[in-house]
Amino acid sequence: MVRFLLGGASTTIISYAIYLTLLNWLPYVFAYSVAYASGLVWSYLANTLFVFRRAPSLIRAALYPLVYLAQYLAGTLLLVLLVKALHVPPAVAPLAVVALTLPLTYFLSRYVITGDRTCDATRSPRTPW
């Protein structure tokens, strides 16, 4: 779980930096979308190699975006709700979105990368090397 949080933190920092940069030229939903897609690539690599210690595979790489499609849809709805209904500043709202969607992301990512459907986070992962 610690490695997942570290991988997620690096993904968040990278995505947030891209988001803030793009806010200078794009509406917040478009900036969020581009930053999200960039973070997805980084997240797959971090989760596969660092968090769950697996070798990358084409099948897992192809399935991995489905995890984040679910998270993206939930995140976009939350982003709009936070900005429009709760008047959270657009520069801050994505941080709340990450916190609120974290559990969903962990369990779906672990399932796609390892095939493990249990909720036992104490098991040590198999390493590809």
Please classify residue 44 by burial: count the beta carbons closer than 10 Å to its beta carbon, then call 0-12 exposed, 13-18 middle and 19+ buried: buried
pLDDT at 127: 45
pLDDT at 83: 96
As given in the structure block, the two tokens for residue 87 are 């008047």
Closest of 107, 109, 103, 108 to residue 119, by C-alpha: 107
In the chain, the largest separation of any two C-alpha atoms, in whole Å, equals: 49
Q: CB-side exposure of 26: number of CA atoms within 13 Å? A: 13
Predicted confidence (pLDDT) per residue in 69-127, tens digit: 888 898 999 999 999 999 999 999 999 998 889 888 888 899 999 987 665 544 444 54
Closest of 13, 12, 22 to residue 105, by C-alpha: 12
| CA separation for the pair 44, 56 (Å, rounded) | 9
| CA separation for the pair 70, 87 (Å, rounded) | 24
Instruction: Tell me the average pLDDT across 19-30.
Output: 95
Asked if 103 contacts 70 with a C-beta cutoff of 8 angstroms, the reply is no
Predicted confidence (pLDDT) per residue in 25-40, tens digit: 999 999 999 998 899 8
pLDDT at 120: 52
pLDDT at 68: 80
Closest of 68, 61, 60 to residue 105, by C-alpha: 68
